[in-house]
Structure 1
Amino acid sequence: MFSADERSNRLRTGILDDFVGGLLNDVERARYLGLPETTRIRERTKIVSPENLVMGEHCWIGENTVLDASGGLEIGDHTSIGLNCLVFTHSSWLANMMLENHPGSDLIERKPVRIGKGCFIGGNSVIMMGVTIGDCATVNPLSVVTKDVPAYSLVSGNPARVFQRYDEDYLRAEAERVRAENAALRAEAQARGEAPVWGAPARRRDAQ
């Protein structure tokens, strides 16, 4: 039933990691995979060639995301990748076209992907091989990123293109706005006798 060749044994290790990972919480799963202690990996995330993945501190990876690190993948500090995202660092399209889609084909192409620090990759997005995403960039949900993304920019669409650029002053002002709104919401919740929570409590329907 079980094959004993090198490829099968290598794949079986990944299958075992997926199985064990399904029994762990997001912090335990990251620790099991040898990632930084501050990283959180949600359930059903798949990492291809984890030995080629370099991940920074305080990263968050959403459910059902596939991180293909076979061609090299770097993810900077404080970056989040949403649910159902696909990050590719290899392509077999030419092997398919040439009818050479077999294991070990020399028509499989690999190029590294680099995602900077402080990035937000929205859910259901696709990052194609060879792409570099600059620091503090945002990729809107449902985007397909086929070329490099400048730092401090927002991209969206298929193929993704730049819709907005921002600087540190803009980000600082937005952070102050959100902190003030969350503080007001927490104060309202405490006034109602509710236990304080991190972040912002959900808005009450009668307050909207």
Structure 2
Amino acid sequence: MFFDDERSNRLRPHILTELVGQFMNDQERAKLFGLPETTRIRERAKVISPDRLKIGDHCWIGEGAVLDASGGMEIGEHTSIGLNCLVFTHSSWLANMMLENHSGTDLIERKPVRIGKGCFIGGNSVIMPGVTIGDFATVQPLSVVAKDVPERSLVAGNPARVFQRYDDEYIQGEAERVRAENKRRRELAEERGETVVWGAPAGEFDKP
């Protein structure tokens, strides 16, 4: 049985869109949700109020992530949101405290979230309303981010705090290290007659 009221009719197209999206690959799903064509959004991920989400190119949204953009959300280019992450832009705690937790309550508070470019948000992390995460920041998995995160920093914990700062020299050095190691692994894989894929081939590569 389906209700024929304003709220139900407003929500149903979003429900159907998510249902259809489960049968698509990550790029097809991004196109269905109206995201940039270079965006990839994995299965079971959900975007609330997608019309209020501004997202850059080459972003990745992991399985089961929930992006609540109802209060406004910006995500910069080349940023990844890990699996099962929760990004909130609204809170209803006052509606609960005042016993007014009904549809249409005027005790919902909304604050935008801004996540910069080149960020990595580790899986199962929570981003609270009103938070700004600077460019090139890393949030370690299982973190709860309730305050702004400086650019080029690594944060972790509940509540999340800064453990490390990055500079260009450090990032460049790490990129060169990983590229060299992946090149070595691909060459060894070719010598073994194994199929070589992009990135780092899986398996044991400590021994020739």
Compute the TM-score of the two structures, normalised by the length of structure 2. Answer: 0.97
Percent identity reads 74
In structure 2, the partner of 1:36 is 36
Residue 51 of structure 1 aligns to a residue whose secondary structure is helix
In structure 2, the partner of 1:70 is 70
Distance 2:134 2:7 in 1: 35
* 8 Å contact from structure 2 (residues 188, 205) kept in 1: no
In structure 2, the partner of 1:207 is 207
1:143-171, CA deviations, whole angstroms, 9 ceiling, x for partnerless residues? 00000000000000000000000111110
* Structure 2: segments with no counterpart, 5+ residues: none
Following TM superposition, by how much is the alpha carbon of 1:3 offset from its aligned partner in structure 2, in angstroms? 1.6
* 8 Å contact from structure 1 (residues 47, 69) kept in 2: yes
* 8 Å contact from structure 1 (residues 185, 203) kept in 2: no
1:134-173 pair list within 5 angstroms: 134-173=134-173
1:51-106, CA deviations, whole angstroms, 9 ceiling, x for partnerless residues? 10111000000000000000001110000011010000000000000001111111
Compute the TM-score of the two structures, normalised by the length of structure 1. Answer: 0.97
Deviant stretches of 4+, over 3 Å: 205-208
The count of corresponding residues between Structure 1 and Structure 2 is 208
1:22-79, CA deviations, whole angstroms, 9 ceiling, x for partnerless residues? 0000000001111111000000001111110111000000000000000001110000
* Structure 1: segments with no counterpart, 5+ residues: none
Following TM superposition, by how much is the alpha carbon of 1:6 offset from its aligned partner in structure 2, in angstroms? 1.8
Name the aligned partner's letter for residue 73 of structure 2: L
Name the aligned partner's letter for residue 119 of structure 2: C
* 8 Å contact from structure 2 (residues 185, 205) kept in 1: no
Following TM superposition, by how much is the alpha carbon of 1:206 offset from its aligned partner in structure 2, in angstroms? 7.0
In structure 2, the partner of 1:89 is 89
In structure 2, the partner of 1:125 is 125
Larger deviation, residues 7-16 vs 27-36: 7-16
In structure 1, the partner of 2:103 is 103
